[in-house]
Amino acid sequence: MARLCGVLVFLFWRSAANGQDDPERLLRSAIALQQAGDIERAIPQYRAYLKLRPDAVEPRSNLGVALARSGRYNEAITEYREALRRRPGDPTIRLNLALALYHLAQFTDAASELSSLHKEQPANQQVILLLADCWLRKGENRRVIDMLSLIESSNQGDLAIAYLLGMALLRDNQVDRGQSIIDRILRNGDSAEARLLLGTAKLTAQDYDGAIADLRQAAELNSQLRDVHSYLGQAYIQTGDTAEARSAFQKELALNPNDFESNLQLGALLKQDQDFDGARLLLQKALLVRPGDLRTRYQLASVNLAAGKLDEARLGFEAILRQAPQFVEAHISLATAYYRLNRKADGDREKALAQKLTLEQRTKPSQEKME
């Protein structure tokens, strides 16, 4: 009986509360709170309003913005998608959705939204820059070059465009063109961005000491600059200084938790240190950024091999080889896994395959001039 009374009191209170707030008052209140920066109190107001007016697009979009501002990107994405279902193609909501996806390192989905926006609004510079950045992170350097080259001449003074284009050119080994962009950035005075690009160019040219000097200077000029510590780590790895590399990747990840290379490389370093759990965590994060990336999957399977999780390692290498049967290192590692699983015949088969592939790759026409 007491329990029944409690339920009745609760229902009465709830009905009274609802009766006190009509939808328009709720919306006004939510907007006012959001404008005042009180995001945490605005969110329930929006939710209460949307319960009463589920088809309202603007308030749902506002809720998405509020959720994104409080770092709840997954919830924001749900709201944006719901809003877009009701108003397909809305450019503002789409851009906000892309931004939320970007923050969650879902660069493939973000790039997809931004590509559509770019088609509709080819002059929108914010979209161009975001899309270029997504492609850059996905390693799609050629697409960045193609897109930014079209607008480069009409935006000579835009350092952001120069920076992204320069980075893509250097990553695509187009060092000369990349160098001309660096020169243009340097004409605007020494800057962290210019030093970063210079360092990247030297890294590509295998001048590792030079790269480290420039990248360190970039970090001194702006320690918050994205990518600088990641490249510094990569340069240190090339000099064999794994301790400095580790520290640089850690700094990058503190600023930029979704940086692909830092997650991948630090994961590989942790594997060397036999910190297998730590390595797995980072490599899985790298896979979130670049789903299906073979290098990362190979490292992940290698971690399992080193950790003695032989069946998991075997499954990982087998899956890689189904997708990339020419991946010699995966054949070698799979052979090792088979041998350790006492599957000698399978190990011998993989070893022979690796040898055959190596031979085939070596007999491809050489670049060397023969006399």
Partner 1 sequence: MTWAWVAPAAVACAIWLMAQQPPKRPGFVDVAPRSKIPYITNNSFQGRKYFPQPMCGGVAAFDFDNDGRIDLFFTNGAKLPELKKTEPAFYNCLLHQKTDGTFEDVTARAGLTGADLDFNFGVAVGDYDNDGYEDLFICSVGRNVLYHNNGDGTFTDVTAAAGIGAKPPNTLSIEAAWFDYDNDGLLDLIVSNYTIWNPKSDARCMMNDLDYYCDPRRYPSVPHQLFRNLGKGKFADVTVKSGFAAAPGKGMGISIADFNDDGWLDVFIANDTEPNSLFINKKNGTFEEKGLELGVAYNENAQVGSSMGSDAKDFDNDGKVDIFYNNLMNQIWALLRNQGRAFQYYSSRTGIQKLSMSYSGWSNGFIDYNNDGWKDIYSANGDVDMMSLRSPQHDTMFQNVEGKSFVDVSEGLGKDFLQKGYQRGSAFADLNNDGALDIVVTSLNEPPRILMNTAGSGNHWLLLNLVGHNSTRDAIGAKVKLTTASGRVLYNHVAVSVGFMSSSDKRVHFGVGAETGIASIEIDWPSGIRQIIKDAAPDRALTVDEPVK
Site residues (vs partner 1, CB under 8 A): 206, 238-243, 269, 272-273, 302, 328-330, 332-333, 335-336, 339-340, 347, 351, 362, 366, 368-371
CB of 221 to partner 1, least distance (A): 27
CB of 212 to partner 1, least distance (A): 13
CB of 215 to partner 1, least distance (A): 18
Nearer to partner 1, 150 or 352 (CB): 352
DSSP 240: T
Concatenate the DSSP letters of all residues of 223-270 into one string. TT-TTHHHHHHHHHHHTT-HHHHHHHHHHHHHH-TT-HHHHHHHHHHH
Residue keyed to tokens 């109190």? 41
Nearer to partner 1, 111 or 335 (CB): 335
CB of 364 to partner 1, least distance (A): 11
Report how far residue 151's alpha carbon sits from residue 148's, in angstroms, rounded to the nearest whole number.
5
CB of 252 to partner 1, least distance (A): 20
Both tokens of residue 63? 């809720």
* Environment class of 35 (CB within 10 Å of its CB; exposed 0-12, middle 13-18, buried 19+): exposed
Report how far residue 183's alpha carbon sits from residue 190's, in angstroms, rounded to the nearest whole number.
10
DSSP, collapsed to helix, strand or coil, labels residue 346 as helix
CB of 213 to partner 1, least distance (A): 16
Residue keyed to tokens 């309202």? 56
Nearer to partner 1, 176 or 371 (CB): 371
Looking at residue 246, its amino acid is R
Nearer to partner 1, 61 or 302 (CB): 302
Nearer to partner 1, 35 or 366 (CB): 366
Nearer to partner 1, 49 or 236 (CB): 236
Phi, psi of 49 (to 5 degrees): -60, -45
Both tokens of residue 170? 């250097």
